Each structure stands twice: as structure tokens, then as C-alpha cells.
A and B are shown apart, each in its own frame.
Chain A
């Protein structure tokens, strides 16, 4: 019984995720995607990186890897699944969550701290926070602009599946606080179940003390604790 951090060719945040989970007292191990998931995982992390060199579209190749069938089945069984950065791109490409993440409006790779407003506090990923809390977590992506069709966006909002929005330090959701041009400042969304989530920012880089500017991301990973 452990949290499986699924490693694809080109993943590069898998070790960081394991370190952050270890710090929180969560048993976690890296799992090479070709080896398949361990039996009865406690949870699944799709980590950041550049799987398959972002060929075709970021996350497109990994999303079609056989292990993702297992991930989808586990998600349907209620196993907590989180996709972080490239893992978010993989999750959305595989249909675990709605919408897609594409080229930043700036057309540049952006590596910077951002503020996120917690839009739902009644999920496993946000139990450590209150709704409306502002947390600081870094982003590091070139393709993080959340896009979703107009109708699908209306459904997303109506179903209350936006988990985090980019905001300023005071929690105001503004264009100026939107780092990549994401529709409706969306930084993270829920799947059909609240136990499935993806987000572009890196909570595992804001968990270990003395490593970054904040440890605000720890609350997200505490879902596995």
C-alpha cells in the first residue's frame, strides 16, 4: 500500500514528488510506466516533466500509454489521482479532467511563484485550507494556458469543478494575476470525482521547508496522508 508516482520517459519531478510525500510521512514510490501500477495503490501522482519531449502536444503521448488505462480504472474506483504540471497535461489529454493546457499566451516558458485562490475546500486536495485562502506555489511551464470550449466552461463552473484560480496576493482574480492567459484564471480542476484533480503549479516544490519561498503546497499533498 503506497502512493505510486508514475514515471514516464521525460518525467523529471517524480523524485521531487516522492521527497515531498516522504516529508509528509506518506509512503510513496516511483513506478516506471511500463511496469504498470502496483496492486491497490493508496494514490497516484502523475508528476511534472517533459514526457516524450512534449511531442505532438504536451502530455499527448503519455496520455495514451497503457498505464493510463490502469490509472483511469483506479480513478473510477475512487483512488486519489493528482496530475501536476506535465501530469496535469497528461491527465487532461487522457480525459481524466475537462479542458486542456496549451501554449502560454506569452509564448514563453515561465518559471515563477504565483498565488492561487482555493475555490473548493471540501475536496481531499484542499481539506487543509478554507475556501478563498490564498496560497503561493511556483509554476514552471510553457504550455499551461487552460483552454476549454464555451459550453464546457459553463458546465465546469456550474458543476463547481474549478479547484484553484490564479489570483493576486490578496486573492483577487484578475488578468494581471493570470500568468499564462488561462480561461477564467483556471489553474487546477477536478475530474468527475473529487478524488481526481490536476493543476499546473507545483505543490511538491512548495512543501519542503528551506527549499522554496513557501510550504503552502503541502496541504495539497496531505490528501495522501
Chain B
């Protein structure tokens, strides 16, 4: 078994309204920053032991499918690194 950190990034699908990101962008603009768009995402770092990186990724993928992401509005990706 090897120790891994699986990083799951969950973001809204393109085209899904993100009022929190819009509000954050407006606040940045009020502070004088110039930007053309802003997107937010949730990142989960999962420490786990697995036989190999594929197994670690598969388990993190299932975590995203079953809880971390909502497929109606979210896309997600998984990246695995040895810890």
C-alpha cells in the first residue's frame, strides 16, 4: 500500500449561474482590480492508502460521484499524487 493524496476539484458546469462568483468579482472590481471573469471551485484533498495510483483515483472518483459533486450542476476532476 502506498500513501496518496487525491485532489478532487469540483466546479460548476459552464453556463450554470454562479451568484457567489459574480459577487466576488464585483467586490474585486470595487477594490479597483480589472478582470474579465471569475470562476470559483471547491477543492477536496483526500489522504488515502491504495495499492497504486489508479486505485486511489478510482476511489476518489467514486467519492465525487456519490457525494462531493452533484452531477446536475457540477463537473469534477481527480488528480493523485504520492504523499
Report which A residues bind B (CB closer than 8 A). 56-57, 60, 64, 93, 99-100, 102-107, 145, 147-149, 152, 181
List residues of chain B with CB under 8 Å of any chain A CB.
16-20, 22-23, 66-68, 70, 72-73
B16:A106 contact, CB within 8 angstroms: no
Q: Distance (Å) between the CB of A132 and the closest chain B CB?
A: 29
Nearest CB of chain B from residue A137's CB, rounded to whole Å: 23
Indicate which residue in A57, A106, A145, A152 contacts B70 across the interface (CB closer than 8 Å): A57
* List of 7 A-B pairs having minimum Cβ-Cβ separation, nearest first: A107-B19, A100-B72, A103-B19, A107-B23, A147-B73, A100-B70, A105-B19
Closest residue to A150 on the B side, CB-wise? B15
CB neighbours (8 Å) of B66 from chain A are: 64
Count A-B contacts at CB 8 Å.
Answer: 35
With A56-B67, A60-B67, A64-B67 as given contacts, are A99 and B19 in contact (CB-CB < 8 Å)? no
* Nearest CB on B from A154, distance (A): 14
Chain A binding surface, main DSSP class: loop
> Are A105 and B17 in contact, CB atoms less than 8 angstroms apart?
yes
Residues of chain A contacted by B68 (CB below 8 angstroms): 56
Task: List residues of chain B with CB within 8 A of the CB of A57.
Answer: 70
CB atoms of A93 and B70 under 8 A apart: yes
Q: Report chain A residues within 8 Å CB of B17.
A: 103, 105, 145, 147, 181
Known: A56-B67, A60-B67, A64-B67. A106 touches B19 (CB 8 A): yes
Check B72 against A107 for contact (C-beta < 8 Å): no
Q: How far is the CA of A57 from the CA of B73 in the complex (A)?
A: 11
Minimum CB–CB distance for A211 against chain B, Å:
31
Give chain B nearest CB distance to A180 CB in angstroms.
Answer: 10
User: Chain A contacts of B22 at CB under 8 A?
Assistant: 107
The smallest beta-carbon distance between B11 and chain A, in angstroms, is: 13
A105 contact set on B, CB distance < 8 A: 17, 19
From A93, which residue of chain B is reached at the shortest CB distance?
B70
Q: How far is the CA of A145 from the CA of B19 in the complex (A)?
A: 11
Chain A residue at smallest Cβ distance from B66: A64
